Each structure stands twice: as C-alpha cells, then as structure tokens.
Amino acid sequence: MPLTARSAASLLGVDLRSVVPANKFDLVAADRAVELGWPGVQPVIAELLEWIRDANWPVAHTLTPLLSSIGQPIAPYLVPILQGDDYLWKYWVIQLLLTDAAPELLLHFTPMLERIAEHPTDQERTEELDEVAAIALGKVE
C-alpha cells in the first residue's frame, strides 16, 4: 500500500491542523509546516496558500520557501487563485511562487501569465499584475 501524505504525517505523529497557522503571526505552525515539508503538507496545501495572500504577513515569509520548493505538484492548487478575483493574492502568487519557479511549473502557467502581461484587464493593470507577470516570464529585468 503506497504511503500517502496523510499517512506520512500520521506516522510522524503530526496533527495536520497544527501546521496551519491560526493567524498571521503563528510562526510556530508555519515552522511545523516547513518541517513536515512536501508531500506531508499536501492535505492542507490550500489552507497554507491562504497565508500568502499578503507577503507582509510574518507567516508568509516562513511559508514561501516551502511553497515555492514544491514545483509542479502545486499547480492545481494555484489555478483557482489565478482564475479568481482576489488580485492581491494573485499578485503574491505570481511574485512569490512563479517568478523564480521551476521551468515545468512556469510552463504550466505561461499562457495565463502572457495574457495578463500582454492584455491585462483594467483591474489587473491597477494592481500591477501585468508587471509582475512580465517579470515572471522573464520579459522584464
């Protein structure tokens, strides 16, 4: 029987609720998530992504290296964010997770990033998503 992320966390004696921050200052939970790593955090990855809605939050600084290290497996969790209407969250996902992403992850989002960079909506332009998308694509230094 293959080892799942949930069973791996269970074997390590980790309650997955304890790795999801309770607030933007909950660095203990964020550190637990980092310690558990991928794929251990997979069952709560959507909840962890919530904590990079604003890169100014202390937990965002702790979680970003973990989230950015996941690579291609994080793609399905990013799609709803990038298709949503929380422009600040989109900005930080692009800035924190896609700007220096592994080539296969960036390739997955290239059409979406090109559309944002080249044909942004008024709101995307206002929130500077076109600029951060162009940077992620390597079109701006």
Q: What is the pLDDT of residues 7-55, one digit of tens each?
A: 445 545 668 999 999 999 999 999 999 999 999 999 999 999 999 999 9
Distances (CA, A) of 117 to 2, 106, 110, 121: 41, 14, 10, 10
Q: What is the pLDDT of residues 90-109, one digit of tens each?
A: 999 999 999 999 999 999 99
Return mean pLDDT, the chain. 91
Global model pTM greater than 0.85: yes
> pLDDT class for 3, splitting at 50, 70, 90?
very low
Distances (CA, A) of 54 to 34, 63, 94, 108: 18, 12, 12, 23
Tokens found for residue 132: 């951060």
Task: For the chain, give every domain's residue range.
Answer: 1-70, 73-141
Tokens found for residue 27: 């660095």
1-70 homologous superfamily: Domain of unknown function DUF5071 (1.25.40.750)
